[in-house]
Amino acid sequence: MKLASIKDGSRDGQLAVVARDLKTAHMADAIAPTLQAALDDWAFIAPQLDALYEQLNAGQARRAFDFDPAQCMAPLPRAHGWAIGAAWPRHLELDYRARGAEPPPWLPEEPALYQGAAGDLLGPCDEVQLAHEEWGIDVGAGVAAVFDDVAAGATPDEAHGRIRLLMLVNDIGLRRLIPDELARGGLLQSKPATAFSPVALTPDELGDAWRGGKLHLRLKCSLNGNVLGQPDAGADMAFNFPQLAAHLCKTRRLRAGSIVGAGPVSNREKSGRGAVAAGDACLLDARNRETIADGEASTPFLRFGDTVRIEMLDEKGKSVFGAIEQKIVKL
């Protein structure tokens, strides 16, 4: 099923069920007021939401209305946790090589993760409000999973069974602030509020595209109408979502409603007949490739007035999650 949080003036919005084709929706307030409330009692609530979802898809829901992504908050407008991993080693490898450094030997063996700002998550059409272009504003197109409770010390297999929902992500980064923050031991100011797709969906909606704890569809990222890249979210992913969650749970437990992101999708370049140029899901990858090839980057970071669009299409060309479409504006 597909779920959304509709703006109603509150901090968490109202839970709605959205039709498979993303054309209509139905409020689920008679079942659960918010998505977090549904996740807190998933075994009891999910079957009721699924029944409403089937009615909506069959055209039998009594109070269906036209679905408008602009009226959506993030599916979870605030979360119990938001952690982001670097699941595609190429993303970090390019960064090391562009700086003239050798990638560390642990890179393909252990995921790098950091904590995001879980208390303020943006809707798919919310503006990205920032004070300075000079901070190096970058798009970060990726995928995230929402987990139920996961015990401390859980194995990847155990974590896999606790995945409840999947979403698209725009994990905005302020690239020129990152070096100083890392030198001081962490990331905070360089990672502002993250945006998510209009809907979160249960993995069964993806059919064969969800396998091995990975989402095997292309993620299209466009800037001002020009395609930056269409990388395959399942290809070259060294750490799947169960592995990322298990890594987090080495020293802690996850609570229902915790979100785990996999970082910007980053495919390795393919060559030969029939190879498809995947492009990039963040500007940093493009700039690092240019630096390695030419000695300097030529692709600019985002400017005020620019528009970012992130969307995933199925094999029939239909939108799966709806689109994240945001404008970068001066605070």
Q: Are 264 and 310 in contact (CB under 8 A)?
A: no
Q: What percent of the chain has pLDDT over 90?
A: 88
Helices 283-294 and 89-98: angle between axes, nearest 10 degrees: 40
CA–CA distance, 282 with 261 (Å, rounded to integer): 15
Q: What are the Cα distances from residue 129, in Å, to 111, 256, 306?
A: 30, 29, 12
Any idea which of 7-16, 93-102, 269-278 has the lowest mean pLDDT? 269-278
Higher pLDDT, 45 or 108: 45
| pLDDT band (50, 70, 90) for residue 271 | low
Q: Which helix (DSSP H) or strand (DSSP E) does residue 258 occupy?
A: strand 258-261
CA–CA dist 194, 6 (Å, integer)? 18
pLDDT in tens, 59-69: 999 999 999 99
| For range 255-268, the mean pLDDT | 96
Q: Give yes or no for residue 58 having a pLDDT over 50.
A: yes
Instruction: Flag whether pLDDT at 272 surpasses 80.
Output: no
pLDDT digits (tens, 9 = 90+) for 77-125: 999 999 999 999 999 999 999 999 998 888 888 888 988 999 999 999 9
Pick the closest to residue 113 from 252, 289, 230 (CA basis). Answer: 252
Task: Categorize the per-residue pLDDT at 245 as very low, low, confident or very high, splitting at 50, 70 and 90.
Answer: very high
What is the average pLDDT across 252-279? 83
Q: What mean pLDDT comes out for the span 188-212?
A: 96
Residue 219 has pLDDT above 90, yes or no: yes
pLDDT attached to residue 327 = 98
pLDDT computed for residue 274 by the predictor: 47
166-187 per-position pLDDT tens digit: 999 999 999 999 989 888 877 8
Q: What is the reported pLDDT for 105?
A: 86
pLDDT value of residue 277: 61
Q: Residue 278 has what pLDDT?
A: 86
Which residues, 6 or more positions from 305, have their beta carbon under 8 angstroms from its beta carbon?
327, 328, 329
